[in-house]
Amino acid sequence: MNILVIGRGGREHAIARQFNESDAVDTVYAAPGNDGMRKDAELVAIDEMDFAALADFAEVKAIDFTFVGPEQPLSEGIVDFFEERGLRIFGPSKAAAQIEASKSFAKELMNDYNIPTAGYATFTDLAEALAYIRKHGAPLVIKADGLAAGKGVVVAMTDAEAEAAATDMLESNRFAEAGSMIVVEEFLEGEEFSFMSFVWDGVIHPMVISQDHKRAYDDDEGPNTGGMGAYSPVPHIPDTVVAETYETVVKPAVSAMAQEGAPFNGILYTGVIWTAAGPKVIEFNARFGDPETQVVLPRMTTDFARFMQSLFEGQPLPLQWSDEAVVGVVVAAEGYPGTVAHGALVPEIPLQGGAGITYAGVKEQGGALTAAGGRVLLVSARGPSIEEAQVNAYRQLAACEWPGFFYRKDIGWRAISKKV
């Protein structure tokens, strides 16, 4: 098979690598990819939003199927475009991608179909939003309605923080059109986890769960980010809670989308919080999570390319997973998630013991990789337990100096601290 992966981040690197490891694959192309992916994919200098050029490339190169990584092309209808050209592509239609592209759409869907989630209200008027915040009081969660690269969520522990977040989005236009409407949610207490599933023709193929770390700094302090690391499995989330989430959230969501006339195909990412009242939805995404993909896909023992092919052919293979734990630590440029300086030299890590690197915000200059984004790379490592995988991951990172970069030193701490 020849496979085209659309996107340029660490998630897409992990996807391309997983495909490249299959003996059923001749060539993996990544459009546009990044310079750190060259060992795992042939880079194609086409922007992920240039649908016509991407479809032309897929035709010329006899691509067997295209896999879409990021949310933006999905929300703009790349799947519809490819399917109109008769090309195989994996991902949701533009209508189905609303489950991520519009927080208000997702909340209304959950409300209409009794899918458990936080109470909420939506606003386009700042004065009304501020009045609601003052009436209900912090803690509250303020979300930009549209796509904001994982940064459009503020967990406000005080009224002042909530008011500032609402003002930032509605009046200061921090997220432009994506923040022209906001969702104000009740704050939920509990343990969070990520539950991703392959969905195709109404059939759900659940993956193993993972947990990511959104805060920038150790001890879950600092601003929210796109994710500073992740691990899988999540041993302190009982299997019964995962099963309940599947029955009360994932299955009803897929059914609801079909009933709404927008059947969902692709990766359904469910961000869940296990509360005292049971699992509730924090958010839905219409694609793989980042950095969750980098720790979940390495645990897949089923051939990824053959599995995808089996979905298209209507004879899905069973998904199988390793019992090994995987911990992934993001290395970010100093200043992330705010303004970052580009150009710092990325050190070469002498990987040992099955560890891996997925690259994201990098650019090759003078034969070396340099920082060209906020999240620069992720180092992952395996082990028979989270503790041992964590030790292995940090051993790789400690082998290098990291001027101009930072990373959290405690990825996986929740699983370890909650171990009985």
Q: Is pLDDT larger for residue 223 or for residue 117?
A: 117
Res 8 pLDDT > 80:
yes
Q: If DSSP codes are grouped into helix, strand and coil, which group holds residue 153?
A: strand
pLDDT at 229: 98
Query: Which CATH superfamily is 325-417 part of?
Result: Phosphoribosylglycinamide synthetase, C-terminal domain (3.90.600.10)
> What does the pLDDT read at residue 146?
87
pLDDT at residue 260 greater than cutoff 80: yes
CB 228 within 8 A of CB 248: no
CB-count exposure of residue 324 (10 Å: 0-12, 13-18, 19+): middle
Residue 193 pLDDT more than 90?
yes
Query: Torsion angle of alpha carbons 269, 375, 214, 398, nearest 10°?
Result: 120
Dihedral class, residue 194 (left if φ above 0, else alpha if ψ from -120 to 50, else beta): beta
Predicted TM-score (pTM) of this structure: 0.95
Q: How far apart are CA 386 and CA 416, in angstroms?
A: 7
Number of Cβ atoms within 10 Å of the Cβ of 316: 17
User: Residue 339, Cβ neighbours under 10 Å: how many?
Assistant: 9
Q: What is the amino acid identity at position 37?
A: M
User: pLDDT at position 278, please?
Assistant: 96
Domain range summary for the chain, segments of one domain joined by +: 2-93, 119-186, 191-312, 325-417
pLDDT at 420: 46
State the average pLDDT over residues 321-349: 96
pLDDT at residue number 419: 64
pLDDT band at 215 (very low <50, low <70, confident <90, very high): very high
How would residue 309 be classed by pLDDT, with cut points 50, 70 and 90? very high
Distance CA 142, CA 155 (A): 6
* Mean pLDDT across 235-257: 98
What is the mean predicted confidence (pLDDT) over 319-334?
A: 98
pLDDT single digits (tens) 80-130 = 999 999 999 999 999 999 999 999 999 999 999 999 999 999 999 999 999
Secondary structure, 3-state, 89-128? EECCCCCCCHHHHCHHHHHHHHHHCCCCECCEEEECCHHH
Residue-level pLDDT at 30? 98
Beta bridge partners of 232: 326
pLDDT value, residue 167:
93
Q: Which residue has the tokens 């969702």?
A: 183
Superfamily for the 191-312 domain = ATP-grasp fold, B domain (3.30.470.20)
| Fold agreement between 119-186 and 191-312 | no
| CATH of segment(s) 2-93 | 3.40.50.20
Of 139, 93, 102, 121, nearest to 284 by C-alpha is 102
Residue at token pair 């600092």: 222
For residue 67, the surrounding DSSP H or E stretch is: strand 65-68
Residue 104: the pLDDT is 93
Task: Give the residue-averaged pLDDT of 324-346.
Answer: 96
Q: Is-contact 373 388, C-beta < 8 A?
A: no
Scan for tokens 């979300």, then name that residue: 143
For residue 27, which of 56, 60, 52 has the smallest C-alpha distance?
Answer: 60
Please write the tens of the pLDDT for every residue from 41-85: 999 999 999 999 999 999 999 999 999 999 999 999 999 999 999
Q: Is 241 a residue whose pLDDT tops 90?
A: yes
Mean pLDDT of 288-311: 98
Instruction: Report pLDDT for 150.
Output: 67
What is the second-level CATH architecture of the domain 119-186?
2-Layer Sandwich (3.30)
pLDDT reported for residue 236: 95
What are the residues facing 183 on neighbouring strands?
122, 143
For 207-236, the DSSP string reads: PPPBEE--EEEGGGEEEE-S-SEEEE--TT
d(CA 403, CA 346): 9
Rounded average pLDDT over 386-396? 96
Across the chain, mean pLDDT equals 95
